[in-house]
Chain A
Amino acid sequence: MTRALAPSLLDVIGSTPLVELPRLSPKPSVRLYAKLEGQNPTGSIKDRVAKAMIDAAESSGELAPGRPLLEPTSGNTGISLALVAKLRGYPLTCVMPANVTEERRRMLRLYGAEIVDSPAEEGSNGAVRLALELAEGDPAFFMPFQYANEANPRAHYEGTGAEIAAALDRIDVFVAGLGTGGTLMGAGARLRESFPQLVVAAAEPLPGDEVMGLRSLADGYVPPILDVSKLDRKLLVTNEESIAGLRLLLEREGIFAGVSSGAVIHAALRLADELNEGVVVCVLADGGWKYLSAEFWEATDIGAAMERSVWW
C-alpha cells in the first residue's frame, strides 16, 4: 500500500482498501469487511476491467493506438475506458441508455468520449443491442465488450480476489453485485481456491417496470461470461432496500457509496444474519459521487424516484 511514486495513473488501479464494518455487523461473532473499489482512479471497480481488457487486446495484437473503441455502458465502464483510452491513445464511443445520471455523461464528455444514446425504455439491454449493431456495421471499431471478454473476470481473479485472499485467513461468504458477472466469477473463483467452503453470493437489482420494456422475454440478455451455476446464492434487492443499505453505510461507517453497494450491503446483512459466526466480505463497486444529482437520497418515495433509470 505504501506507494510514494507511480509511473502513471493506470499503475494505481487496484490494491484498494479492505475495511472492517464493525458498526454494521449484526453480531460480534460475524465480522464484516468491505473492499472499497470507489478508491480506484476514476472512482469504480471498472478501472480494473477497462485496463485489463485494453492490455489483453494490445498483447494479442488486436488493438493498436488510434483504433476507435466502442462499448455499451451505463457509465462506470465507459469512464474507466475513457481514462485508459486517453492515456493509451484511442478515441472512445460509449453507447448508454438515454436516462443515466448527468454526472456520468459530463465525466465522459470531459474525458473526450463520444456518447451515443440508446432508448431509455430498453435499459442496459438496449445499449448492448445497439452497440453490437454499430460494431457490426463498422469493422474499424474495436469493442472490448465487458459482457463477453474473459479479461473482465480475469482482472478480478488476479486482482480483486487475490487481494482479498491475501488479506484474510478466513472467509465464509463473498458478496458482490451482479452486473456483467465479472467480479462474482473472477474473484469468486479465486477465493474458492483459498476457501473451498466459501458461499459466493450475488446481489442483483429488481429493475423498475419502465426500464424492462422489452418486446418479449426472449430479448433478455445473459452475459456470456456469467455462469449462474457458479453462484451459491442470488438475491434480488429492491431499490428501497438498496437505498436503505446506502444510508446505513453512510450513517454507521461513514462510507459514501453508489447504488449497487447499497444492494450488496443489504444482501450481506441478510447472509450475515444466517451465520452464527464467520467472516463476510463484500465488494463496494463505486463511490456515491456519480449519483449525487439523483433524487433518491432524500426522497420519501424511493421507488418512484428510481423507477425510470438504470442504476447498475
Chain B
Amino acid sequence: MAAVRIPPTLRADVGGLRELEARGETVGAVIDDLVERYPPLAGQLYSEGELASFVNVYLGGEDIRTLDGLDTPVDDGETVILLPAMAGGV
C-alpha cells in the first residue's frame, strides 16, 4: 500500500480526504486504483490517456517525470503526492 496525498482541488472528488491509501506496484497502478474507486478523478488527472501537464506527481518527494514516469516502481509504505502545477518565480 502507498499513501497518496490529495491536493485541495481534488478533495471533493474523494469525499474530502487529504490522504488515502492505494495499491499498486507502479505509480500508474496506484493512480489507476484511485481512479477506479473515485472515477471523477480520471478527468482531472489524465488528458488523452497521459498524465495531464498541469498535474505533478511525486514519489519520495521526487517528480515522476524525472524518474520513470507512471512506470516508476512504488515500494510498500511510500508516499505519492499529487499537486497542481504552480507558477513560481519570486
Contacts and interface: CB of A to CB of B under 8 A. Distances in A.
A228 B88 contact: no
Given A216-B44, A285-B90, A222 B63 contact: no
A237 B58 CA distance: 11
Interface in B40-68: 44-45, 52-55, 58, 61-63, 65-66
Contacts, number: 120
B59 to A, nearest CB: 10
B83 interface: yes
A74 B90 contact: yes
A215 B44 CA distance: 11
A179 B90 CA distance: 7
Chain B contact residues: over half helix, strand or loop, or mixed?
Answer: mixed
B82 to A, nearest CB: 8
B87 A125 contact: yes
Contacts of A123: 86-87
Contacts of A74: 89-90
A205 B88 contact: yes
Interface in A185-221: 204-207, 209, 212-221
Given A182-B89, A209-B8, A220-B55, A214 B84 contact: yes
A228 B63 contact: yes
A233 interface: yes
A46 interface: yes
Nearest to A221: B87
B54 A220 contact: yes
Contact of A221 (B8, B10, B83, B85): B85
A72 B85 CA distance: 17
Contact of A212 (B66, B84, B88): B84
Contact of A217 (B54, B58, B62, B81): B54
A233 B66 contact: yes
Given A234-B65, A234-B66, A221 B86 contact: yes
Given A212-B9, A214-B84, A234-B66, A146 B89 contact: yes
A217 B84 contact: yes
Contacts of A146: 89
A216 B65 CA distance: 21
B54 A221 contact: yes
Nearest to A100: B90
A73 B89 contact: yes
B7 interface: yes
Contacts of A124: 86-89
Contacts of B10: 217
A223 B55 CA distance: 13
A212 B8 contact: yes
Contacts of B90: 44, 46, 73-77, 179, 258, 260, 285-286, 311-312
A147 interface: yes
A179 B89 contact: yes
Given A214-B9, A217-B55, A228-B65, A204 B44 contact: no
A242 interface: no
A78 to B, nearest CB: 9
Contacts of A76: 90
15 contacts: A74-B90, A76-B90, A125-B86, A177-B88, A204-B63, A214-B84, A216-B9, A218-B54, A219-B9, A223-B89, A228-B63, A232-B66, A235-B62, A236-B58, A286-B90
Q: Please give me the 9 A-B residue pairs with the lowest Cβ-Cβ distance, nearest first.
A: A220-B54, A179-B89, A179-B88, A234-B63, A180-B89, A220-B85, A220-B84, A76-B90, A124-B87
